[in-house]
């Protein structure tokens, strides 16, 4: 399942709904929550930061790997090259006033999914998230 959205400004909800509509999204409510939250955070980052004003494209796709055991979700954009996995871990012990803004979304993705990987290839940012669903 793959689709390209262009432009992406104001389409975060539509993009998330598209990915969550895949027939192989598990019925387990706990898994759905983890997948949806991760997808929302990753898509929101692209919509907000990849392109000036959200005028650009985002290609999203999902598939089952390993004989239907692993859900793989990929986000691909041609925005500003940026590896979100290089962000420092947020200081969860700091007070709200002392915490840096940002970085919590990708932290949640890494905690909720089994793996999150980034690569920059042919002028595109590619973020791949995987979750064991069996």
Position 87 scores a pLDDT of: 80
Dihedral sign computed on CA atoms, order 22, 26, 32, 37: negative
Q: Where are the extended beta strands (E) located within the chain? A: 2-5, 58-65, 70-77, 115-121, 124-132
**According to CATH, what is the number of the domain 2-132?**
3.30.565.10
Mean pLDDT by 10 residues, the chain (134 residues): 95 97 96 97 93 92 94 97 86 67 81 98 98 95
Position 101 scores a pLDDT of: 63
Ranges of each domain in the chain: 2-132
For residues 106 and 129, is the Cβ–Cβ distance under 8 A?
A: no
């Amino acid at each position: 399942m793959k689709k390209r959205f262009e432009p992406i400004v104001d389409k975060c909800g539509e993009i998330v709904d598209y990915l969550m509509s895949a027939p192989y999204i598990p019925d387990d409510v706990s898994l759905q929550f983890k997948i949806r939250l991760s997808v929302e955070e990753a898509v929101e980052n692209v919509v907000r930061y990849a392109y000036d004003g959200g005028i650009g494209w985002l290609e999203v796709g999902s598939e089952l790997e390993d004989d239907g055991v692993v859900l793989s979700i990929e986000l691909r954009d041609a925005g500003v090259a940026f590896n979100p996995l290089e962000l420092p871990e947020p200081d969860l012990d700091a007070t709200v006033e002392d915490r840096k803004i940002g970085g919590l979304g990708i932290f949640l993705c890494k905690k909720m999914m089994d793996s999150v990987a980034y690569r920059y290839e042919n002028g595109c940012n590619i973020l791949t998230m995987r979750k064991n669903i069996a």
